[in-house]
Structure 1
Amino acid sequence: MLKPLLTLVFFVCLSLSYAQELNCTVIVNSDQVNQTNKQIFRTLEKSLNDYVNKTQWTSANFDANQRIECSMMVTITQYDNSAFSGTIQIQSNRPVFNSNYQSPVFNYQDKQFSFKYVEFAPLYFNPNVFESNLTAVISYYVYIILGIDADTFSKEGGTPYFEQAQSIVNLSQSSGFSGWKQTDGNRTRWELADNLLSNTFKEYRLALYNYHRQGMDVLVSDPLGAKENILNSITLLEKLNNTRPNSFVLQAFFDAKSEEIANVFSGGPKVKIAELKENLNSMAPLYSKTWSRIKY
């Protein structure tokens, strides 16, 4: 009797050691849909939360306090029987060493999101088959989140996750749903995965690592050195902007980082910021009011 009990304890402990990777809040907003019965949207929300947070996405071992903090906001604009269409906003954060601060690393709204869903239908992830556009899009962004997070901790550490995202793109291109092909317009899922894996955009990934590991992570212990390293990371992005202006990854970077950059350079030890402000206004003029808060 003792041996089976010990075996059971071993397998329970083994399963607990592989906690899921994400602590993700998924919200389904149906306010724009003229639908009296909202139960299907609540069911969808619960199913998506379970799918994202209970699926084992990688072979890595994540402790509970290491889960990536993120969110997905699904806004339904049209609903007819089992057909849904709308947008999905994805945000993810990364902890900063020696602080309670969560640094935003990804913030993007995908406007090409349509899918079919039958209430209570189970959601499965199959890396080798296109099951549905709902699970394909959600799984794709899970791997984008995992990849960007890994890139902030080790140089090009996110490559295997970006490759998985690209594999989902390849499987989904013949599905008939938009957003998966290069020809589906600007800011497609194809374009994001391609940018992240292309050598052309290597400065983005290097800047992502330097910004966080040599910048944000030492901001408490060495604020001057941290600010100089963050400044150098942004200079590296300007190099990319000179060859690929207004690229997807640059836009995504500043959509996530604009407020943080302004806050970092609005106080503490002074660094030379004339060139910084010039570069920021060149790369992300949409945030010119934010950059104006950075003082000399």
Structure 2
Amino acid sequence: MQGGFLNQNRTKLFTLMLMLAALLLPCPGPAAYAQEAARNAFDKWRPKAGVYAEPGKTFRASCDEGGGLTINLREKSVSGYEWGCGVKKITDLGPDSLKVEMVCNDYNLAQNVNPRDPDWENRKFNEVMFVKKIDDVTISVQKSLNGKLKDAPWREAYCPLKTQRALAEATLRAKADAKQKTDLEQALKDAHPRDGVYAAAGPNFEERCAKFNDTIVTFSEKSITTASNICKIEQTRVQLPDTVRIGADCALQAAPDPNAVSVQNVDTTLDHENLMFKKIDDKTVVLWIIKDGHFTGDGRKLSYCSDQVQRAYAG
């Protein structure tokens, strides 16, 4: 009996030791599960970012001309000839197959759907594209048109690296040029006086504002009317963040003030500029005109007239 009792105790002790060892073994924590999830996501197939063209005799020529299809799912962009899409959602259909949901602009489709729509250029289309890997450089593509899958799948091949680099560089240059243009437009906007009615500060300011007979600035309509001149803006150039120089075709008013100063012909001035505005704040500017090759003195300090006057002028 005593031997049996000892054997039972040994068995219980051995079982207890096994349980304790199991508890002490390392187990995967949240970090390990996160790493596994990240690894699975990383393994999902995506088509190479870049330009594709249909394989065949014209493949190289098509690539050199920009290809027929550009895919960059990381940047959420897909585009082709006269159409471009922003990617909304990507769904994996299998190891090498996916569905791409997109919102697209399509120049030709928009015209065909409703050519009388005055805003057809900005029309959006919800489209879907199915992409499947065939080999390392070739994919199968099927894209809807106006939400319907009318065309059968076709093949696209990844263009040579030389072409990819050239097109990537061209894209970067285009983006840089677009940014420069945007920055310039913003600089012009910041430097321009507000459109509206102005008058020189001093006695009878409100009266002169109400008569609209001092200075009216309308950059939006490329026009400036001063106390003595009517000018049509031909060009503008930002000289400083708060200064804009203007080339304008100006003529004296029909019945000018006896002290009126005519603006020099723009074709006879340096840089073809004959007016200059310096913006002091949102309601104050200084206007210079060129006469005999020089800007006139300290310029005329003009103040923006009241909102009531602006509304009356706008009619």
Q: Same fold (TM over 0.5)?
A: no
Q: Which has the higher helix share?
A: 1
Q: Which has the higher strand share?
A: 2
Alignment TM-score, normalising by the size of structure 2: 0.21
State the structure with bigger RCO (CA 8 A, min sep 6), 1 or 2: 1
> Which structure has the larger Rg?
2
